[in-house]
Amino acid sequence: MGENKAMNKNTLLNRMKGKAFRDYFPIIFLLVMCIAFGFMNDRFISWRNFTVILVQIVTLLVSGMGLTFVIMAGSIDLSVGSTLALAAVATALTVPKWGVLSFVAALLVGAFCGLVNGIIFAVGRVPSFIATLGTMTVTRGIVLILTEGVPIQITDQKFLEVFSGKSLFGIPNTAVFMVIIIFISWVVLEKTPFGKEIRAVGGGERVAELAGIKVTKVKVLSYVWAGTMFGIAGLLQCARVLAATATLGEGFEMDVITAVVVGGTPMSGGVGSIGGTILGAFVIQILSNGMNMMGLSPYLQSIVKGTILVLAVFISIDRKKKTQTK
């Protein structure tokens, strides 16, 4: 008995040791990066640059909140950028009539796109990579038809004031919305049965099913949730750039996936956290911001981003587990 206890303690200690570097990698990386950029450019660490980053990160972070749910449930959504663009177009088209209320259009369009993804994937059993690769392309096509390739301007002052204005202490409204959304996401993921069910489905679908969890429903809902988040991201994005363009969010899915994965949510599902995705998003955004300040060419930036993605997974993956890497 005594030996047994000692052994338990021992394994616990080993686990913590094994975890240490893996789990703290994103935050260590973020700190090192901030210090390095700080030395290289004295404008980097400033209140002004902080608010710039805060505004820029909104789209990424809000989308990340959505994708975290999907990835934790063990699937993937590639249609982030397209959904975001369609929601932006829907907003821009309805703003002249509905004004501020056109945010409803963004939410509905996002949720609908998610619902379609979820049904094709969970009910139709099409692998999520393929399902969302398809809807990504289709949705982009719809965006191109609606915009005819020309940006749809948003001129409604009231709308812009609400969704891209500034409030107290010069903090951008979008950042306030972002914080609210992060908080809601955290509550849903950590405090509700739905969050636990998402984890269970991602951690072991068969186990979850035999535990009486309605796996199909949970999967569909995870996509609806994600789509809604992409819709909100589209809304805030088009408010920031004053227009919905046909190419809005093109290639954006890679940034969001990178943020989620760098934040410690493995593609295999079951594990992950809101805090991790926030960290991951900051890593990606600050990296872009710093590289831009240094005047690094977009080509080089792309190389750096890709390297970071693989490196993050390489470091955080648990190679002791004998499960297959897909």
Give min distance, CB of 199 to another protein, in A.
7
CB count within 10 Å of CB 303 equals 12
254 neighbors 308 (Cβ within 8 angstroms): no
Q: Is 267 in the site for another protein (CB under 8 A)?
A: no
C-beta closer to another protein: residue 217 or 240: 217
- Asked if 66 contacts 228 with a C-beta cutoff of 8 angstroms, the reply is yes
Q: Residue 23 interacts with another protein (CB under 8 A)?
A: no
Three-state SS at 291: helix
Q: Choose the binding region for another protein from 99-107, 157-165, 202-210, 251-259 (rule: CB under 8 A).
A: 202-210
The nearer residue to another protein, 161 or 318, going by C-beta atoms, is 318
How wide is the angle at C-alpha 243 spanned by C-alphas 142 and 62, nearest 5°?
A: 80
* 43 lies in the binding site for another protein (CB under 8 A): no
Q: What single-letter amino acid sits at 52?
A: V
Q: Is residue 204 at the binding interface for another protein, with CB under 8 A as the rule?
A: yes
Binding test (CB under 8 A) with another protein, winner from 76, 80, 113, 213: 213
Q: Can you read off the two tokens belonging to residue 290?
A: 């710093």
* Burial bucket for residue 188 (CB in 10 Å: 0-12, 13-18, 19+): middle
Q: Does residue number 123 form part of the binding site for another protein (CB under 8 A)? A: no
Tell me if 88 sits within 8 A of 244, measured CB to CB: yes
- Does residue 192 touch another protein according to CB under 8 A? yes
Query: Which of 15, 158 has the CB closer to another protein?
Result: 15
Task: Name the residues that contact another protein, by CB under 8 A.
Answer: 4-5, 8-9, 11-12, 15, 187, 191-193, 195-197, 199-200, 203-204, 206-214, 270-271
